[in-house]
Structure 1
Amino acid sequence: MKIKIYTLWAILLIGKPLLGQNVTLAMCLEAAQKTATSTKQKEIEQELGKLNARVIQTGWLPQMSLNGQTTYQSDVTGLAIEIPNLRMTPINKDQYKTFIDINQLIYDGGASKTRTMLQDLSSKNSLTRIQLANRNLLQETQKIYFSALLAQENRQIWETAKEEILARKSVLETGIRFGARTKNQLDILAVELLKIEQQIIDIRAAKTIAVEMLNLLTGMKLNNLTSFQIPANIQKITPLSYETYEMKLLQNQQSLIATTEELNQSKLRPKAFLFGQGGYGNPALNMLKNEFQSYYLMGVRLNWDLSSFYTKRLNQKSSQLQKELILQHQSDLERQLSMQYTKMSEEVKRYEKLIEMDQAMISIRERISVTAASELDLGTITATQFVTEKNAEKLAKQSYLLHQIQKLAFLQDATLLFDSNSSL
């Protein structure tokens, strides 16, 4: 689901108490995203990916090392024959050397390129995990929002019922003053008012809990006076899609396995280097010249690690097993998503039918309550009978409200879960 951006709203909402102001689901979801650490985590992960890629690329830079050594050996090279008119200075048994080695990689069998691909996939995998955590956060925010909304709308029903009972109570009090009604009927309404007050206290507490949890998740300053708006009715459930973040994680794992196979193949290939060494020592390259001299040498080196062939078949078998395991996970996930979607879809259909019946019952119950109120005023029915009819009306309205909000909750949850265009 593409969440609408309410930048100005987010600035106004965070850090400022919302006394009696209207708050929408989209505003809460947007605030939750802004407050969550996932945005910062994305930035850090992207920066880490860039840094690690640069580290891998340094493998193509000349590798240099400065070395020094001094040795003493038990014997040295010498000539066992004497040559007339040629006097040779014996080579010292103590030898000294300081030198710098330079190696330049010119071919690595594709290892550096493959490592860069692995790093990119690893970063992509981490970002997908962050998006999954963000979606779960939005689902939790959405769930609590609907809890607050249900408590708010439920309280309105009870407040309306309270006003109706108070109105009937006033009529009865007038009748009692003129001796037309008994005090017993008034006591029945008084008890009903106390029951209503108890319900309102419970509902107020439920909303307070939901509001405090929303404040923690969104960073907003909501309170019991905040009015939660009913989201616009979604006409139909989002089509089933297997491109969820859980599935993307498995797809990323497949790519990681394939790229790791390429890296293992690159280890079977030889590597070529240009190398050079320059130094100063006694002796230098001329072992027969017993004096300190500077020297250098350069060339091409080929390195082929044949021990990589030891694990070739084992690595291939391991990769094959990992692929099969991921395919099993994908199959299980598709089945779970299909079951979840079927459940959501059927629940939405069920609530649509229940809502139609609720509307019909409310219409009938309202007519019955109006008639009962008139009959109570005239004294043709008792307060108990009136309360019974009024409670039936309340239950019908509560049922309608509950079914309507539950239907919306399923539709919104399906959008978050199955909408592949969701920008989290």
Structure 2
Amino acid sequence: MIRTFLLLCAWSLSVISQAQITLESCKQQARENYPLVRQYDLIQLSEQYTLSNVAKGNLPQISVSGKISYQSEATTFPFEIPGLGMKGLPKDQYQALIEIKQNIWDGGKIRNQKAQVKAEAEEHERQLDTSLYALEERVNQVFFGILLLDEQLAQNVLLEEELARNQKTVEAYRINGTANDADVDAIKVEILQTKQQHVQLENNRTAYLRMLSLLTGKELPAQTQLVRPALVETNASEFNRPELRWYEAQEQTVAVQRKGLQTGYLPAFSLFAQGAYGNPGLDILKDKFRTYYLVGARFTWNFGSLYTLKNDRKNLDNRIQQIRNERDLFLFNTHLQLAEEDGTIQSLRQQMKEDEEIIRLRENIRRSAQAKVANGTMSVSDMLKEITAENLARQAKAVHEVQLLMHLHQRKHLTN
């Protein structure tokens, strides 16, 4: 029996914990559910494959070629050479060749290609970070939207309960002759309108909860409760946005490209071995098909890239300036948003200081109105206006509290 009771308690706690979700858990689930997150694995695979291909440039390179040619003239001998049996070189020539080339030094081209592959992969990952960071802002908006609706629903229930109590009171007044049917009907109208508002708020909450479910990839039942996050304070001078790391990665990519320019005008060294079959062979005085081979070292130095080197560097310098201008513009806009958030937060805090006093005064006015209705010196309609005004004051306080939380977290989002 005790074991069954404990199991039921454990199951109940599990259900309660599943029915409550936090802002951070929503962000994490949204990040895992977002289709773009799979790009990280694809970028890493692409980097591995490309680096592997680049590294193969240091392996021996094998090539096969063939040639058949006929030339209009060929070298002839002005005299006959005894024992040679030919008067000159043949006009038709044949050659089948296989060459193996081993790179010794390529001027740093392969090393620079590897660095560029890594830099571009890093840049793409940091760009993905910015996209996923924007997703968190959408989660914030939906999450706090639900919290705001929850507060409005709670105030709606309190208003409905207050109106129901007043309905009973006015019905008693009608029996005593101090109120009439129209007074009771006025309260009933207010109750019906409050119920309509409740249905509308519930529908809005269902829609927002559905949006949050789509973002997180988790099915969220209607009874799901959101845990109100704590107040957060951030330092405006500290920025840790993923966009800044993306700009740094872009600059690093350009730096690697700039360093790669010098590989275009550096010399290259390699070893080679050639095996061939053809006519004529290496001994051109023998007019027959023969096999032969060549081994040696090769040195190449191409100066063609020097013609465009200056402009290539200027283009890359311009690209660096563009990246820095984009970063400065981003920081400028972010500081503007922070200033706007700071103003909103300060205004909300000032309003919240006055909310309690407004509610206290509205509560006194409502009680006074109820007493006047009991004494027959105020109409029920005027009393309903005071009840509504008190409810609006309570709603404003609840809305201000959620808005303050939302703007504080938005400020944190701006600075990360």
Q: Same fold by TM-score, threshold 0.5 exceeded?
A: yes
Shift of 1:387: 1.4
Question: Mapping of 1:22-421 within 5 angstroms?
Answer: 22-84=20-82, 87-88=85-86, 91-234=89-232, 236-373=233-370, 375-377=372-374, 379=376, 381-419=378-416
- Does the Cα contact within 8 Å between 1:25 and 1:142 map onto a contact in 2? yes
Q: Which residue of 2 aligns with 1:12?
A: none
Q: What is the TM-score of this pair, normalised by structure 2?
A: 0.89
Question: What are the superposed Cα offsets for residues 12-62 of structure 1, whole Å, 9 maximum, x if unpaired?
Answer: xxxxx9999223222221221121123311111111112112222221111
Q: Which amino acid aligns with 1:119?
A: V
Amino acid at match of 2:249: N
Q: Deviations over 1:205-234 (max 9, x none)?
A: 321221222122111222443222221222
Provide the secondary structure at the position in 2 that maps to 1:213: helix
Q: How many residues align?
A: 402
Coordinate RMSD, CA, aligned: 2.4
Q: Distance in 1 between matches of 2:394 and 2:358?
A: 9
Contact (CA 8 Å) 1:90, 1:290: kept in 2 or not?
no
Paired with 1:159 and 1:120, the residues of 2 have a C-alpha distance of: 59
Measure, in 2, the Cα distance between the counterparts of 1:370 and 1:274.
Answer: 101
The gaps in structure 2 that reach 5 residues or longer are: 1-14
1:279–1:182: structure 2 CA closer, same or farther, 3 Å change rule? same
Q: Tell me the secondary structure at the aligned position of residue 308 of structure 2.
A: helix
Q: Match of 1:415, as an amino acid?
A: K
Q: Secondary structure at the match of 1:225?
A: coil
Measured after TM superposition, the shift of residue 127 of structure 1 is: 0.5
3-state SS in 2 of match to 1:413: helix
Query: Matches of 1:157 and 1:81 in 2, distance apart?
Result: 120
Q: Is the 8 A contact 1:240 1:338 kept in 2?
A: no
Deviates more, 1:115-124 or 1:283-292: 283-292
The alignment's TM-score, normalised by the length of structure 1, stands at 0.87
Distance across 2 between alignment mates of 1:136 and 1:129: 11
Name the SS for the 1:313 alignment partner: helix
> Is the Cα–Cα contact under 8 Å of residues 151 and 399 in structure 2 kept in the other structure?
no
Q: Distance in 2 between matches of 1:319 and 1:20?
A: 53
Shift of 1:365: 2.7
Q: Percent of pairs identical after alignment?
A: 26
- Please give the secondary structure, in 2, of the residue aligned with 1:274: strand
Query: Any conservation in 1 of the 2:348–2:404 contact (CA below 8 Å)?
Result: yes
1:256 deviates by 2.0
Q: 1:368 offset after TM fit, Å?
A: 3.8
Unaligned runs of 5+ in 1: 1-16, 420-424
